[in-house]
Chains A and B, each alone.
Chain A
Amino acid sequence: MESRAYLLQALSPLHVGTGQSVGVIDLPLMRMRSTGIPIIPGSSLKGVLRDASASDTVRTDAVFGPRRAKNGPEGDEPSEYAGALVVGDARLLALPVRSFVGTFALVTSPLLLTLARRDWGGRQGGGEAPPPVPSLKKHRARVASLKSCVCLHEQAGGARVYLEDLDLEVDAEDDAVLGAWAEALQRALPGDERELLARRLVLVDDETMSFLWETAMQVDTRVSIDPDTGTAAKGQLWTEESLPAETLLMGVMAASASWSPKQAMAASAVLDAALGGQGTMLQLGGKATVGRGWCRLLSWTTGDAEARR
Chain B
Amino acid sequence: MRKVLAALPRFEEMGPSHAGLAHERYAPQKDDESKDENSSPWRGWLSWMDGAREPEHYGVAYRRWRGALTQWHTASVEMRATGRLLAGHGNASPTGVGLTLHHTWGVPVIPGSSLKGVLAAYLRASFEPAEVAEACRRLFGVPGDERLGQKASVGQVLFHDAPWVSSRGKEGAGPRMLARDVLTVHQRGWYGKAESWPNDYESPNPVAFLSVRPGGRFLVALSVAPGADDETLRLLRWAADRLCEALRDWGVGGKTAAGYGRLEPEGSVVINPPRAVSRPSPERDAFKAWGEEQRAAKTEQRKVLEDFDAQWRPKLMPLSREARMECAQALRVLVRSPKLQERREELLRLLVDGA
Contact = CB atoms under 8 A, between A and B. Distances in A.
Interface residues of A, number: 53
A289 B60 contact: no
Interface string B290-308: 0000000000000000000
A192 B61 CA distance: 10
A103 B105 contact: yes
Given A289-B141, A290-B159, A218 B124 contact: no
A222 B113 contact: yes
A167 B1 contact: yes
Given A98-B18, A167-B1, A277-B278, A291 B104 contact: no
A300 to B, nearest CB: 12
Contacts of B57: 103, 195-196
Interface of A: prevailing SS: mixed
Interface in A146-188: 150, 153, 155, 160, 162, 164-165, 167
B14 to A, nearest CB: 12
B321 A55 contact: yes
Given A276-B277, A290-B111, A102 B104 contact: no
A246 B277 contact: no
A277 B277 contact: yes
B158 A289 contact: yes
A32 B25 CA distance: 29
Nearest to A193: B60
Nearest to A272: B280
Interface residues of B, number: 59
Interface in A273-309: 273, 276-281, 283, 288-292, 294, 296, 302
B56 interface: yes
A220 interface: yes
Interface of B: prevailing SS: loop
B73 interface: no
A280 B17 contact: no
A17 interface: no
Given A98-B20, A104-B105, A245-B104, A278 B64 contact: no
Contacts of B25: 164-165
Interface of A: 11-13, 55-56, 59, 96, 98-104, 150, 153, 155, 160, 162, 164-165, 167, 192-193, 195-196, 218, 220-222, 224-225, 227, 244-246, 272-273, 276-281, 283, 288-292, 294, 296, 302
Given A55-B320, A100-B21, A277-B278, 5 more contacts: A100-B17, A196-B57, A246-B104, A277-B280, A291-B111
